Structure 1
Amino acid sequence: MIGNRITHRVVDGVHIPGTWRPAFIRNGRYFLTDLFIYADGLVDCWGLVTLEEFEEKVRTGWVATTLPEGAPASIHGLARWKFGEPRNQLTPDLLVAEVRDTVDRLNNRPDSAGRCMAAVRAFLADRTEENRAVARAAFLAVPVSRRRALGDMDSKDWNLRVLVAGPGGRTYLAADPPVTQEAYERAVAHFEQQADRLAELRVRASADGPVTSYAPAVHLYPWISNDTVAEPGRRGLHNAYPAPITVDKADYPSVSHAYWALSAAQPEVRAAIAAAATPSAALDLAVATPRREGWEHVRAAVMTSLLRAKYDQHPELAEILLATGDAILIYEDVDSAFWGSKAGQGRNWTGRLLELVRSELHMRRAGFPGP
């Protein structure tokens, strides 16, 4: 189980809170190491990955939950051994669920335990079998390693098991007897008393929402083709995706073309960059010519205007951007640590500006007046 260890990583001066737990990485042999989990939904398992990518790492065994008899293992610089009679306490589903819960807790959001207790409160307020089924499903969605911690030191999760099973029902533990009416009534009384105590401690929540706005991150990978496709998915959000835009009566094949063209000091070079066959070719031309004076001071504003033009002029791509919700956008740019993430070490300005444009799209859709 993941404890209360505290760590962080710094991205462009911003501290992203995190925690860690021990885990085995299978890379030839099994390496005991630390698995770092951060509030923005990135997990460091010998490389920063999103939650979805982490789940794939677990499913494929890169992050190991099965430790075979006789398999070689080591702790770097400390020891080597082979497993003898290993007893695995993790499953892929359990580890993924624990990590997802950890991201929720780092963001002060309800995790699976919080969602379970919310469903229990809904059932106690309206004791229908439908609500009981919802509460039971929410309870079973809590990782097994955490269910026992939902009760007190003496009874563990007994009252919760009884409540969601109902009179005459069976709990998820085969050794438990059928629930009696008396046991059920004691469980109901237990939660009613608990609800009274919580009501006395409840404090007023912030009217503006959570203090932190971190959400599971979305990686935006480069577009490597020069052709449009019917369903580009999130790769259509990359600046190199061939989505032509018109800015100040000039036409550009992509945001990348427009950005590099506008950066050039000489007008004739700007035209050549705009006409380049690919975004990569546009970059090559831009590298070989001087920048406009003071370009570094205006480039973020220029990029913002280009991104606004792209998503105003391509509603289908705006829908893809809106579909990312409020997730942090991790933009991959192999050429720039200013615009791209660079494995969590870059400034990720494109990702941040995409979040700004996405917020503006949400604002317009919600009918808020513009600035």
Structure 2
Amino acid sequence: MLNRRTYRMVEGDRVEGTWRPIFIRNGGYHLTELFIFADGAIHCWEWVDLDGLRRKIEQGWVATSLRPGDRASVHHLAAWRFEDPHMWISGEELIGEVADEIDQLNGRPDSTGRCLRALGRYLDSRTEDDRIALREAYDAIPGHLCTYALGDMDYGDAPLSVLAARVGEPVGDLRNLGDEEVVTEELRQRAFAYFADRDRHLAEYEDTRRRPADGPEDADAPTVHLDAVVFPQGWPDDLGVLALRNECPAPVTVTGLTYPTVTHAYWALSTTDGRAAERIRGAERPYEAERLGEAAPRRDGWPQARVAVMASLLRAKFDQHPDLAETLLTTGDGRIRYTGLDSAYWISKGDGGRNWIGRLLEVVRSELAAHRAGIPL
């Protein structure tokens, strides 16, 4: 799998999915995609589940073997005949891979993840029961995926396979662990030493790995969701973070005029019609100001200038209302996700939206923090 992602909509819900290439045998071979979804649905020119996929493989519809001389094609692209074909995956391995993908799409440990958990338990306990559980978990990894469960390009999974085996079992290809033909207690101790060294190196890496000198890469504070809320009885006294929204009744003064909210100011400044701008400024509610603004003529170049205007208005709001500036600063470094009925240019909308208001609030918050820290700007 190449971490490809797709989805399908089911009764309004988005179901995450992925896909991998396969051959369908329908007369000749057809190279196509096997689609796999988090709810267990699988598409191979027909909708099946995991058991259905097994039947399709047994019937040869999903091909895991190729016959020399047979014709293959990709629709609307190419056709050819196999001369000396080889498949790198068996039917059982394909089923195991698809089952792993369904687990991953659901945020569950896949077969490799379950094996690594079993390994951790065995390294802690070293009991025979946990060794047997490790062996079962290791054997459950699809064969074509169990070479690098440890993510070690030098040793592969040799240390893992040694610990999963009984003393006296054939060792197979253990590469750098030794040349013994069977697992010995000495070989097992070398495998235990490998994991002790590995854990130590990982801990040292976590302690010493390069961190950006100017601060963390990720936010420590949780995401702030500024969802649109309607208050039929008027805005309450304690708004919390909702005071950060543009329709909050916090008057802003710009260009010598005072506007009831950032929303009023934005739409009044967007038009060249002076009388329309005054009607917008005098609108009773932000919603009415927006509707009046939408109906008024726009200034030339407004789409290119609007982010700068919004940034200026937000700076004015928090400069002129220190209590709201404190509220903004309490959000720490968390992402600010601004939603509502506005254009997707300004808001976060499902998986899309450019969220410019939320992003500008983060910039203003950083400017306030710089001022508080005495950093000259």
Length-normalised TM-score, structure 2: 0.49
Larger relative contact order, structure 1 or 2 (CA cutoff 8 Å, min sep 6): 1
